[in-house]
Amino acid sequence: MSVPPTCGFYPSSSLTDAQWAIIEPLLPAPGNTAGRGGRPEKHPRRLVLDAIFYLVRGGIAWRQLPVGFPPPTTVHDRFRAWAKSGVWRAVHDALRDLVRVYEGRDPQPTAAIIDSQSVRGADTVPRTSRGYDAGKKINGTKRHLAVDTGGLLLAVIVTMAGLQDRDAAHRLLAGLRERFTTIALVWADAGYAGRMLAWAATSCT
């Protein structure tokens, strides 16, 4: 495999040639090649992605990126710009569909599983976006996930940890229904019982 000339290859986070060949076409065209003007991108996109994956893998601060990667401010700006324009979601969804096809399944799922997980919030998380999960004894946020039967992510919302699963499920299922009209069956545990079932029966059919 080829290695970017200005930075070492990190097996746990760097893209291989095969991975880059799949991801590159999924990225939006640079501004200067899409009829919107602007200067050519100074740093190779593959190297920018390697820097982002290195940061996520290690859980480090932006300014702790090793020498050889593009400047931290450049990597951060590119990450934010792509997040704002929906690039990450589009790439994720395309890769998920490719995995389903590779496994011999239809890219559009017919069933899903929903659940939630409370995550302890860091001291920097403001009180307005955090809450207390009395059952798990966790002060922070809660991520509500919908996955296919293979565990691949279909939809996610993040709330305060104190929000009940059945209350957040309204938003989660509404978003799931909007994006995947093929889903006819959803599995959930007892935490979603009660009025949520009646709502789903009338609103998601």
Q: What is 66-77 written as a DSSP string?
A: PBTBPPHHHHHH
Query: Is the pLDDT at 188 greater than 60, yes or no?
Result: yes
Query: Is the pLDDT at 204 greater than 80, yes or no?
Result: no
Lowest mean pLDDT among 9-18, 32-41, 71-80, 120-129: 32-41
Q: How far apart are CA 79 and CA 110, in angstroms?
A: 32
What does the pLDDT read at residue 36?
A: 57
- The arithmetic mean of pLDDT across residues 125-130, rounded, is 81
What does the pLDDT read at residue 68?
A: 87
Q: Which helix (H) or strand (E) holds 197?
A: helix 195-203
- The arithmetic mean of pLDDT across residues 10-34, rounded, is 84
Average pLDDT over the chain, rounded to an integer: 87
What does the pLDDT read at residue 1?
A: 45
What does the pLDDT read at residue 3?
A: 47
